[in-house]
Chain A
Amino acid sequence: MSERAPFLVGYLDNETNQSDLPPSSDVVIIGGGLLGTSLAYYLSKSGVETVLIERDDINREASGTNAGSFHFQIALHQLTPNMSESEKRRLADEVRLQVDAASLWDEIEQELDADLGVHFDGGIMVAESDDEMRVLKEKDVIEKEAGLESHILTGDEMRAFAPYLAPDLAGISFCPREGHANSLLVGPTYAYRAWQNGALFRTGCDVTRIERVSGGGDLKGKRFRVITSRGVIECNRVVNATGAWAAELSAQLGLHIPLGLSGLHVNVTEPREYFLKSMIQHIGRRLTLKQTHNNTFIIGGGWPSREEKFPKRYSNTWSSTTGNLAVALRVLPMLADVKLLRTWSGVWAYTKDFKPILGESEKVPGYHIAMVPTGFTLGPMVAQMLSQYMTAAPGKGKLPTEFNIDREVA
């Protein structure tokens, strides 16, 4: 793993990236985030002709603005008070999916032959009150059933395990499988390896319209004409990997994809001597906190930021900054004199059931969507699943039915 990812990005040089769009391709992927780039990698690895189109630069939106955490423990936003047995089963299924994703992340640095800052240093979920402690124990049971290792610690045991935490917390759960990677590098590295496999990339290329070519339907005939700011390309199959913008593009083909959008606030501090191996989350408040291997602290957890129209980035608010930092200090009081250096914000797109939208539309054959609400953790695995579907013999590919893209099509 000698090759540091920043040295990989010359792939988008003038000779390739700036040249015209090719007239046609088997697959056109729209969107150069983690989903799009990893799909380009898996497809091109199987020899599928692939062109990826991105209106901005690679990895600029949610894929590069999230905090890079692998969330395997059941989190606050997944829970409801007084869960029914069926809800618990649904959660257990989600945990199993996360556990599967973990094994992909185990091998990703080898697969891509690059240092992507992947670390499995465990994750702590804290509870402040007795009520939260009860929820923590409840979710721990579900996780264990789903095969995720976790441990509940309280009192002196907790303080000995994590002496840096506020000593009066009610308790914690610890999941050794959780970890993180550098979200700034994963997408670009997938893109680089895809390019080496023969996939083409065009950035600064905005799709204005997707047209269905009449009389199509045969896999060999081109079924779509994609009109962009840099020319027209025809293709058999389109993959919409535009994340938060997936609904806008699908609407052109008469597909209604109900997505919720929310700006997420993130803080980063100056570096301090490394001491915090494990990521920290909160079962009752919005908090994720970790020390990166650059020794800075990244603090987030779902505080809102202000929506802005592209190309302006979502903007950060003072109340999210100070509210989020207060939760962080409650859990880790020793951060009080660490300086906040910068904030940033990304857009989070989610479905009603928080499940991925993955697969081919029955209404518009050849049109695919790949969209994942917890995109960083699940993104590469979901892309791999879609690639397997797209490279299977016609009619043989299978994807989980609960990800069906028409399920939410009105």
Chain B
Amino acid sequence: MIDSQFDLVVIGGGPAGIAATSTAASFGLKVAIIDERATFGGQIFKRLGEGFAIQSPDDLGKDYARGARLIDELDQPRISKFTATTVLTIEANQIITSHPVEGVRSFNPKALVIAPGAYDRPVVFPGWTLPGVMTAGAVQTLVKTQQISPGKRIFFAGSGPLALAFSAQLIKYGAPVFKVIESAPFPSPAKLLGLLSSVNGNWDLAGDALRYRSTLLSKRVPFHYGRIIIKAEGSGRVEEVTHARVDRDWNPIPGTEVVESADTLCLGYGFFPSHELFRLLDCNFDYDETRGGFTVAKDHWGLTESSSPIPIYAVGDGTGVTGSYSAEAQGRLAGLHIANHLGSLSTTERDTQSKGFLKELNQRNKFQRAINKMFEVKQGIYQLADANTVICRCESVKAKEIDPVIDSTCDLSVVKSYSRAGMGLCQARNCQRQIAAMIAKRHDRSISEINFQTPRMPVKPVEIGKIADPSIREEKYFIQ
């Protein structure tokens, strides 16, 4: 079924997608917003489902309230909401989705916003696949909304604002975090000054950071700069973790290892943008390790260059991780540009209305850049595996099985063909960058020069029975 009634389709119901949707709809456009989850809000404003231990939003703080306000913006008559709906592929102007009950639904709008969000950066080191090693996002969901602690002794390793924010949040909700390590060095006075000069318009975030730090201090949880996780060990699950001091490239310094007993290792090294759909659409990319590596190229309205006949806008953390305030401003700007493009808003009015959001975006991005400078992710993060470390966890392919293939090629698709690394259920989300870094090192290149695997649909696995279509008949095959 092709749904042709919409002017705009927005993929992704986090802050960026919601802002784009409600802004465009407020100028009279008919908008469909799609999210693969059961509720809108994205990971940051994730709603509580049935059976969740915490039911009062007040217990979840001001972010939850901000999320609720945003989500309420979607209650407009011109907005149609599609939850539990997964985008499988985009062909030209056609967005093809699947729903577990309602099946396949396609859209062919006049414009498309893609706000796919980001996922936890996988960090590969010996023991990273042991039970008890979890990403910050997973631990956050368990602790915050289910009040379940994954362990009795949680070691938190990470970097950037996330390491501080998540660990403090976890502690606040009563999770037994006993130590936090941060890979970046203690901020230098120059970097702190840089941060201060951009704090205007970001007092809320700066205040958050101070509160997080004081939570750690008041609970006497040690926070160490300049250290990285190098190993997790245990029989059947994590029992011990090893961390070490790092040099300026985040390479562990021999002799500085410390072993600690822990039953859970929580990793918060930032996020990777989900860029599969942009790759299918032949968009251009830049590379910025600290914003998550490959980031789709776009102008300040979010407009990209692509092979699609309709304009494709890219907004939010899925286009480079800069946080929820920046994401929201990006969404508003895209919404205004689309309203103008489709003739519902004059250019003058668009430019007037966009001023505030542009200012917001610039201030947020300036602050983010200062923070990124402080916590810049270094290439040492890719050098933690040894020969026996599993790199592709779906197919259980070890580093030593990938190394000989890398000798002869710089092509991730070739590595996949020969070694099976990247062929599994996660569709290479977990291992692709690690392998790219291995290739870069072997051939003395920058990781930004190593191209993706060939993008292929579906971008998420889907049951055959949900999409098979007996009405489609092939051409007759008999030789004519």
Contact = CB atoms under 8 A, between A and B. Distances in A.
B50 interface: no
Given A10-B404, A318-B91, A321-B457, A57 B409 contact: yes
A270 B425 contact: yes
B14 to A, nearest CB: 25
Interface in B216-271: none
B420 A339 contact: no
A6 B464 contact: no
A326 B469 contact: yes
Interface in A316-337: 316-319, 321-323, 325-326, 328-330, 335-337
Given A302-B474, A318-B91, A323-B473, A10 B408 contact: yes
B122 to A, nearest CB: 19
Interface stretch (A75-83, A251-259, A358-366): A75-83
Question: Interface size class for chain B?
Answer: 35 or more
B467 interface: yes
A6 B463 contact: no
B427 A77 contact: no
A384 interface: no
Contact of B472 (A57, A78, A326): A326
A410 to B, nearest CB: 21
Interface string B397-438: 000010011011101011001111001110100000000000
Contacts of A348: none
Nearest to A135: B478
Contacts of B443: 14
Nearest to A333: B465
A17 interface: yes
A285 B91 CA distance: 25
B348 interface: no
B44 interface: no
A269 B477 contact: no
Contacts of B469: 319, 322-323, 325-326
Given A9-B404, A337-B463, A341-B427, A322 B468 contact: yes
B329 to A, nearest CB: 34
Contact of B461 (A5, A7, A294, A339): A339
Contacts of B468: 322, 325-326, 328-329, 336
B456 interface: yes
Interface in B447-480: 454, 456-458, 461-465, 467-470, 472-475, 477-479
B304 interface: no
A319 B457 CA distance: 12
Contacts of B473: 323
A323 B477 contact: no
B96 interface: yes
Contacts of B462: 339-340
Contacts of A321: 457-458, 467
Contacts of B135: none
B89 interface: yes
Contacts of B88: 318
Contact of A7 (B404, B413, B458): B404
Contact of A316 (B418, B457, B461): B457
Nearest to B96: A318
A319 B461 contact: no
Contacts of A144: none
Contacts of A5: 418
A60 interface: yes
Instruction: Summarize B's interface: helix, strand, loop or mixed.
Output: loop
B465 A59 contact: no
B456 A343 contact: yes
Nearest to B461: A339
A64 interface: yes
Given A321-B457, A338-B464, A330 B470 contact: yes
B112 to A, nearest CB: 16
B83 to A, nearest CB: 21
Nearest to A335: B464
Contacts of B457: 316, 318, 321, 343
Given A57-B414, A339-B464, A340-B464, A323 B454 contact: no
Classify chain A: how many residues form its interface, as a range: 35 or more
A270 B461 contact: yes
A306 to B, nearest CB: 9
Contacts of A8: 404
A317 B91 contact: yes
Contacts of B408: 9-13, 17, 57, 203
Contacts of A11: 408
B456 A285 contact: no
A313 to B, nearest CB: 5
Interface string B79-92: 00000000011010
Contacts of B467: 321-322, 325, 340
Nearest to B479: A80
Contact of A322 (B404, B472, B475, B477): B472
Interface in A192-219: 203
A328 B469 CA distance: 11
Contacts of A322: 104, 467-469, 472
Interface in A39-61: 57, 59-60
Contacts of A285: 474
A208 B233 CA distance: 55
B395 to A, nearest CB: 8
Given A9-B404, A302-B477, A325 B458 contact: no
Contacts of A338: 463-464
A323 B470 CA distance: 6
Contacts of B458: 321, 340, 342-343
Nearest to B467: A322
Contact of B478 (A64, A81, A325): A81
Contacts of B474: 285-286, 302-303, 323
Interface in B48-98: 88-89, 91, 94, 96
A200 B396 CA distance: 33
Nearest to B478: A80
A202 to B, nearest CB: 12
B418 to A, nearest CB: 5
Interface of A: 5-14, 17, 57, 59-60, 64, 76-81, 184-185, 188, 203, 269-270, 285-286, 294, 302-304, 313, 316-319, 321-323, 325-326, 328-330, 335-344
18 contacts: A5-B418, A6-B401, A9-B405, A10-B407, A13-B408, A60-B413, A76-B477, A79-B479, A294-B420, A318-B89, A323-B474, A325-B467, A326-B472, A329-B465, A337-B465, A339-B463, A340-B458, A340-B467
Interface of B: 88-89, 91, 94, 96, 104, 401, 404-405, 407-409, 411, 413-414, 417-420, 423-425, 427, 443, 454, 456-458, 461-465, 467-470, 472-475, 477-479
Shortest beta-carbon contacts, A-B, top 4:
A336-B465, A12-B408, A323-B472, A322-B469
Given A9-B418, A57-B408, 5 more contacts: A12-B407, A57-B409, A77-B478, A339-B425, A342-B456
